[in-house]
Structure 1
Amino acid sequence: MNKDFISNSSPSNAALPKSSTMSDEGGMNRRTMVRSGAYSYRPPSPPRIHIPVRKAEDIFLWPSYNLVDSSKLTLEEYNIITGNRLQKSTDRSVRWRYEMRRESQLILDYLFLGPTSTIRDHDFLKREAITMLVVVRDSRAPMNLASVNTASETFNISYCYVDVDTNHLVPAFNQIVNVINSHLLTAHNNTGGATQGKVLVTCTTGNMLSPPLVAAYVMFMFGQEMLDAINFVSVQRFCANFDDEAKGALLTWQELNKASVAVARRRRLERENEENGHAPALASAEGTPNTKRGLDDMMDGVEGDLGSNGDHDRGGYAPFLDVDQ
């Protein structure tokens, strides 16, 4: 039986090939081995998500109820919130000035995005008829702001704090959708449709915590994918920052939305068939066959893989090389 003697190395010199010696119990037939590649001493990082630079042109969002999870919003509620109005971006990237980061920008015709300092601008709140303040804050340091209480008492404005964990943003995405939509529906119902609510979403700088939540709201309400929603927000508030954690969370949110929309569409189709006295649908809402597999289909071919150690996928890669050969 051979004994392996492998030298230790620190992360600082992990990229250098380290040698080791192998010998039998009698000390004969000593061979020198070197690493085939660098060692890594940390968990693998997720791949970076690149956001391509978009041309300086307007972006349009068309309201479409077919792109929304119907189990969370009825058609009537969706029409009240969006008004079936076309949303058009205003490209501020070319004419952006540094001072504009201290202001709030209109993202949707009923939603502003900016820093919390704009809450103290009472002329702005009055001019834009803001009806709700949403303050996004780090869950590790939740602080109530006196400016929020003052604005709420002065203009009878509703407000809500959304605490976010930067490592787990998806729950905050659900919360921001519910908070904004509930307020808009309440404002409509309380005034008999005479008043449309307007929401100001803020964080300390208006650049880090709140932009991903606004992008998530755009994705949910208008069926947009991550790249399109980020571009829609970024061209209007050019200083908005989306780090890798935010982009990864938005990508997860995108797939969750697609799945929930597909499930809701399938259930709606089955319900309509039952109401019309038709047999249960064997095809999905997209018109494709039912692709559910049975247990036998799923286990087909698995028996042959149970004894495999997966080495056939390595492509002939060996972690060490014998330099004496």
Structure 2
Amino acid sequence: MNKTTVPSAPYTRRPPSPPQLPYPIFLNQPRRAGSRAEFVLTPSYDNVDPGQLTAEDLAIITQNQPQLVAPNVSGDWRYEQRREAQRILEFLYIGPHAVIRDHDFLRREGITMIVVARDSRLANRSMASVDRAGGTLGVRCQYIDVEGPRDLIHGFPQTIRDINDHLLSVYRGQMQEMDKNDRLLRKSDPPVRGKVLVTCESGNELAPAIVAAYIMSVFGKDMQSALQFVGLQRFCACFDENTKRLLQSWQDILRARASVARARTPVPGRPVPEAKPKRRLDQLRDHNDDEMGLGECTMDRERFLGRDAFVPFVDITNDNAS
């Protein structure tokens, strides 16, 4: 750059940074005497893809819970709790890999499935603690091998499907043959519920992201609500900007899938709307523009109306001369 040329605005050579995605955590919720602050999340099935789960499956998994309650443990959080596992939902837990060695915890909580998120460089190696838990307790174990948080979004659909399939299989495995009235009989009443423990190396990065994506998918919640719900119960969970943007993209994917699935599902008594063809590029242009010879150059002109002329660099020699 010439020494007589200076930038007319603050200038940096690094790539522009995207704006941060804040999500408030309610650390200072008022507490009533003898009670703990809670974050209440109301499930919404508006953004759930009906092609992935039926209404019956959702009722089995959620047990028709009208509300999800996340107790605010931030005030009582101890540093040592990061080595333990926390229950996020009635059937979903987050913890580090070390929790898998605690067989007493697995028995006490009734864990039936362990999802292990780990670095893809360890894909060909089996973890001894996972093998022992599977052999001793009969717990189903599943690995998710990723190179980093960005690769998680590719595995979200399959991981969520595997968790739901396991929960449904545990529930339906307790059914006996039909009775005289063609009703299924349960071996235990109330039925035993499947429970899933999601772990990663520290229990603070990959595992919380998987559980947040699960809440968004099954309960139809947005990214911020899911992060708040998880963060209040596992206070050491870390959601950096890359993870938040990944979950933001997952939110957009879920809503698009749900919209497409609902549009393709016929509603009784309602005619199916005819698909309209997309407009061609020549249909978007104004005929007056063609007559004036402007053509495609004016398609985006409204975005620049009202802007002042901006010169990125200024030659200071002209200013001195004047």
- Give me the TM-score of the superposition, normalised by structure 1: 0.79
Q: Alignment RMSD, CA only?
A: 2.6
Of 267, 273, 277, the residue aligned with 1:272 is 267
1:292-311 equivalent positions in 2, closer than 5 A: 294-295=279-280, 299-301=284-286, 304=294, 306-307=296-297
Matched, 1:316 2:309: yes
From 110, 132, 137, the equivalent of 1:155 is 137
* 1:70 to 1:297, Cα distance in 2 relative to 1, 3 A: farther
Shift of 1:60: 2.5
Contact 2:25–2:232 (CA under 8 A) maintained in structure 1: no
1:260 & 1:37 partners in 2: Cα distance?
43
Structure 1 residue 89 displacement after superposition: 1.1
Give the superposition deviation at 1:292.
7.9
Counterpart for residue 67 of structure 1:
47
The partner residue of 1:211 within 204, 208, 211 is 208
Confirm or deny that 1:80 pairs with 2:60: yes
Report the Cα offset of residue 33 of structure 1.
3.0
Secondary structure at 2:271's aligned position in 1? coil
Find the aligned partners of 1:59 and 1:198 in 2 and give their Cα distance.
Answer: 22
Aligned to 1:124, which of 100, 105, 112?
105
For 1:1-325, list aligned pairs within 5 A: 6-7=1-2, 19=3, 32-54=4-26, 55-56=28-29, 57-85=37-65, 86-142=67-123, 143-164=125-146, 165-192=148-175, 194-268=191-265, 271-273=266-268, 276=269, 279-281=271-273, 294-295=279-280, 299-301=284-286, 304=294, 306-307=296-297, 312=304, 315-323=308-316, 324-325=318-319
CA 1:93–1:295 in structure 2 vs 1: closer, same or farther (change >3 Å)? same
Tell me the percent identity: 40
CA–CA separation in structure 2 for the residues paired with 1:196 and 1:247: 31
- The 1:321–1:296 alpha-carbon spacing in structure 2 relative to 1, beyond 3 Å, is closer
Structure 2: tracts of 5 or more residues without a match? 30-36, 176-185
**8 Å contact from structure 2 (residues 43, 221) kept in 1:** no
Aligned length: 285
Higher helix share: 2
Closer/same/farther in 2, CA of residues 214 and 305 from structure 1, 3 Å limit? farther
Structure-1 separation of matches of 2:25 and 2:51: 35
